[in-house]
Amino acid sequence: MVISLANFSKELFFQVQEYLRLCGAAVRGVATKPFYFRDTVEQFNSIGVGSLVVVVLTGFFTGAVLALQTGMTLDQFGARPFVGRLVSASMVRELGPVLTGLMLAGRVGSGIAAELGSMVVTDQINALRALGTDPVRKLVVPRLLAGFFMAPVLTVIADTVGIVGGWLIAVYELRVSSSLYWSSVVDGLYFADVWMGLVKPFCLGFVIVTIGCYVGLSTRGGTQGVGRATTNAVVASSVAVIAVDFFITRLLITLIY
């Protein structure tokens, strides 16, 4: 038992060390040549535009169900007109960034792990090294840039669509005046909320992409290993999204408030 625990600890520290080394190499690759602009643009399209539909649907129905549930609860206190304030604050501060991160973890994290894992088991990564190409600069850096910059854009879209979904429910289901809903939305948002909602996606996008790349490049065991890597990437990215969200929220609350 003691030996197995020690081996687990060593393996855990080794994995964390290798992950941090990959992150450091990727960050250095962002600031130094060579740059692969074409690959970067392709990844912006794949990660950003490709995830747009799932993010829009998730944001819309989250805002709608949030308005429906909270509207029924607020009725008990005669506070139904304040549903817009609750929807906007919840979407911008917490639900928008987290749900967008989870959707990206499921779609982008798994896709990156499967793609890079397939390249590893088919020796394409070794072929790149034989040709003098750094796999981190060629494969990881473009995905890192795309995830880092597109996650906030997708989060803003999810927030906006979620608030619109809440507006539809508030007007047509809860019978709240449209002007009253939107004035409540504005009153419920503060600069600190917007700042918090925009900082989180940058960190979440970085974590999701780097975990997917690390798991993919660490794939072993042929096609079965690719399947395991895909599963591990989704699980690790999803847990990381929740954990990073907590620590960033705690830090920002300390700094802002």
The tens digit of pLDDT for each residue in 9-66 reads 787 788 889 899 999 999 999 888 888 899 999 999 999 999 999 999 999 999 999 9
Q: Rounded to an integer, what distance in angstroms lies between the CA atom of residue 77 and that of residue 71?
A: 10
Half-sphere exposure of 131 (CA within 13 A, CB side): 10
Tokens of 91: 């979407």
For residue 101, give the amino acid letter.
Answer: G
How big is the chain, counted in residues? 257
Q: Rounded to an integer, what distance in angstroms lies between the CA atom of residue 18 and that of residue 1?
A: 26
Closest CA to 41 of 151, 148, 143: 143
Position 239 scores a pLDDT of 94
Q: Work out the end-to-end distance of the chain between its first and last CA atoms, rounded to an integer number of angstroms.
A: 46
Position 257 scores a pLDDT of 64
Position 240 scores a pLDDT of 94
For residue 161, give the amino acid letter.
Answer: V
Closest CA to 212 of 105, 55, 125: 105
Please count the other Cβ atoms lying within 10 Å of the Cβ belonging to residue 257. Answer: 6
Position 35 scores a pLDDT of 86
Contact at 8 Å (CB) between 76 and 174? no
Position 81 scores a pLDDT of 79
Position 2 scores a pLDDT of 57
| CA distance to 5, 34, 154, per residue, from 209 (Å) | 29, 20, 15
Residue 3 predicted with pLDDT over 70: no
In which band, very low, low, confident or very high, does the pLDDT at 252 lie, cut at 50, 70 and 90? confident
Tokens of 195: 């700042």
Tokens of 198: 């925009």
Residue 209 predicted with pLDDT over 60: yes
Mean pLDDT computed over 224-233: 90
Query: How do residues 144-190 score in pLDDT, each as one tens digit?
Result: 999 999 999 999 999 999 999 999 999 888 888 888 899 988 888 88
Contact at 8 Å (CB) between 47 and 112? no
Residue that has been written with the tokens 């798994």 in this structure: 110
Query: How do residues 107-131 score in pLDDT, each as one tens digit?
Result: 999 999 999 999 998 889 888 888 8
* pTM of the shown model: 0.90
φ and ψ at residue 161, rounded to 5 degrees: -65, -35
Position 109 scores a pLDDT of 92
Tokens of 3: 């030996």
Position 12 scores a pLDDT of 79
